[in-house]
Amino acid sequence: MSQPLAERMRPKTLDEYIGQKHLVGEGAVLRKMIDSGRISSFILWGPPGVGKTTLARIIANKLETPFYTLSAVTSGVKDVRDVIDKAKRGGFFSQASPVLFIDEIHRFSKSQQDSLLGAVETGTVTLIGATTENPSFEVIRPLLSRCQLYVLKPLERDDLLELLRRAITADAIMKEKQVELKETDAMLRYSGGDARKLLNILELVAEAESGVPVVITDAKVVDRLQQNPLAYDKDGEMHYDIISAFIKSIRGSDPDAAIYWLARMVEGGEDPAFIARRLVISAAEDIGLANPNALLLANACFDAVMKIGWPEGRIPLAETTVYLATSPKSNSAYMAINNALEEVRQSGNQPVPLHLRNAPTKLMRQLGYGKDYKYAHDYAKHFVEQQFLPGRLEGKRFWHPQPNAAENRLKEYMKSLWGDKYNE
């Protein structure tokens, strides 16, 4: 039986590798390390189908060093120790340390990650981890501090088109079918920047055609995918599509759609922590100050799911999903921090006004640090008007309350303190 097209097209060298020029292009940081023949341990973080596993294999081939792989789903501490023992024995035959590649390293338990520390620190193995999840959440700090972190980006349109052209001209089976790419928009849209998904779609549509040549059109792609819906894959395929629909349904105040997408993830075996974490983000970003209790409930949901797991964990997830979807919405806090960050990037490090500075020493007090600061609790309503922003930014507004009951109250309170400053 023939290998899938995505496997047949897997690059063997960096010259064949598509995308990630910021890491492996000429003069890029990872390319320099690979060309030098010496690499340090690192973690590749990025969405599925952008070349994390392929890059690890190319590196091992380039360095001509033993290459060991472990699956975070099926491997235990004993498996880790066995591989490290093999690496110790095999390390003498290569200038570079053996490479240990761990896919889905975010699924490794703390004890499994702990068992890697010594080997990584001493250079017994060069660890390459791959993850679709933020490593700061899932990888223990001691291991993360021993690894560089490289972020892989979704493939751009030009990258995907190059991959398609290469597939129909370089793959023997595709060449036999004489595939013609008349239209590509549907394939690119459904792939979502995932190279593996794109090649799977191409193969699916091409195999459905009996004649020669095979002409790919958007209509054929849509029709074929409707007849053969891609199964939910918690490790990649529709992972990001489903969670996107879930969050957008909550943001759009549709509890029925939100609970449907939740059910799709539960039935597909999605990691409950992944869902709960997205609910916390949604509560802060999309509900925000319109209903601050939403963040409290989302945090409580996360804790509950971590304690009880499946299948009961679906209940607090459902409760929180419905609550968030039916809550009033505001992204004013989210927009406020983005506005402030943009100001910081543009205006740089503005000096802290003297009256706001800390004055722990006599010299600082003599220099005016803390002078004329007014202690708010000494005044009526625990408020006294004074300047808190740097001088150049005086009067600048970052938070703009939005029209909902909770923020209307906040706005009126701010107007009672600051007057015209909050008249919008």
Confidence of residue 239 (pLDDT cuts 50, 70, 90): low
Q: What pLDDT is stored for residue 237 in this prediction?
A: 43
Asked whether residue 38 falls in the same domain as residue 111, the answer is yes
Helix axes 239-251, 314-326, angle to 10 degrees: 50
Q: Which residues lie closer than 8 Å to 221 by C-beta, 6 or more apart?
A: 183, 186, 187, 190, 201, 205
Confidence of residue 235 (pLDDT cuts 50, 70, 90): very low
Domain assignment present for 5: no
Asked whether residue 30 falls in the same domain as residue 133, the answer is yes
Domain assignment present for 200: yes
Domain boundary among 124, 151, 178: 151
For range 272-297, the mean pLDDT: 92
Q: What whole-number distance in Å separates Cα of residue 338 and Cα of residue 343?
A: 9
Region of poorest pLDDT, from 244-248, 260-264, 391-395: 391-395
Region of poorest pLDDT, from 360-364, 376-380, 387-391: 360-364
Q: What whole-number distance in Å separates Cα of residue 177 and Cα of residue 194?
A: 24
Q: What pLDDT is stored for residue 404 in this prediction?
A: 85
Domain assignment present for 334: no
Q: What pLDDT is stored for residue 264 in this prediction?
A: 85
Domain boundary among 326, 341, 362: 326
Q: Are 328 and 290 in contact (CB under 8 A)?
A: yes
157-163's contacts with Cβ under 8 Å and 24+ in sequence apart are 157/188, 159/18, 159/19, 159/195, 160/188, 160/191, 160/193, 160/195, 160/198, 161/188, 162/18, 163/9, 163/18, 163/195, 163/198, 163/199
Q: Are 187 and 198 in contact (CB under 8 A)?
A: yes
Region of poorest pLDDT, from 106-115, 139-148, 158-167, 277-286: 106-115
Q: What pLDDT is stored for residue 315 in this prediction?
A: 92
Asked whether residue 43 falls in the same domain as residue 145, the answer is yes
Asked whether residue 143 falls in the same domain as residue 161, the answer is no
Domain assignment present for 3: no
For range 234-247, the mean pLDDT: 69
Please give the structure tokens belonging to residue 359: 């004055």
Asked whether residue 294 falls in the same domain as residue 417, the answer is no
For range 110-128, the mean pLDDT: 84
CATH number at 274 reads: 1.20.272.10
Q: What whole-number distance in Å separates Cα of residue 418 and Cα of residue 58?
A: 61
Q: What pLDDT is stored for residue 301 in this prediction?
A: 95
Confidence of residue 233 (pLDDT cuts 50, 70, 90): very low
Q: What pLDDT is stored for residue 47 in this prediction?
A: 81
Asked whether residue 29 falls in the same domain as residue 126, the answer is yes
- Please state the length of the chain: 424
Confidence of residue 363 (pLDDT cuts 50, 70, 90): low
Domain assignment present for 342: no
Confidence of residue 299 (pLDDT cuts 50, 70, 90): very high
DSSP secondary structure code for residue 5 in this structure: H
Q: What pLDDT is stored for residue 361 in this prediction?
A: 67
For range 235-248, the mean pLDDT: 72
pLDDT surpasses 50 at 236: no
CATH number at 83 reads: 3.40.50.300
Domain assignment present for 222: yes
CATH number at 410 reads: 1.10.3710
The domain in which residue 259 lies consists of 239-326
Asked whether residue 65 falls in the same domain as residue 124, the answer is yes
pLDDT surpasses 80 at 138: no
Domain assignment present for 332: no
Q: What pLDDT is stored for residue 230 in this prediction?
A: 46
CATH number at 183 reads: 1.10.8
Who has greater pLDDT, 2 or 384?
Answer: 384
pTM given for the model: 0.55
Listed ranges 67-76, 87-96, 210-219, 279-288; the one with the highest mean pLDDT: 279-288
Count of domains observed in the chain: 4
Q: What pLDDT is stored for residue 259 in this prediction?
A: 93
Asked whether residue 205 falls in the same domain as residue 312, the answer is no
Asked whether residue 136 falls in the same domain as residue 244, the answer is no
Region of poorest pLDDT, from 19-23, 228-232, 318-322: 228-232
Share of the chain above pLDDT 70, in %: 91
Asked whether residue 286 falls in the same domain as residue 403, the answer is no
Q: What pLDDT is stored for residue 38 in this prediction?
A: 79
For range 405-419, the mean pLDDT: 83
pLDDT surpasses 50 at 231: no
For range 44-56, the mean pLDDT: 86
Mean pLDDT estimate for the chain: 82
Region of poorest pLDDT, from 73-77, 211-215, 240-244: 73-77
Region of poorest pLDDT, from 32-41, 69-78, 183-192, 287-296: 69-78
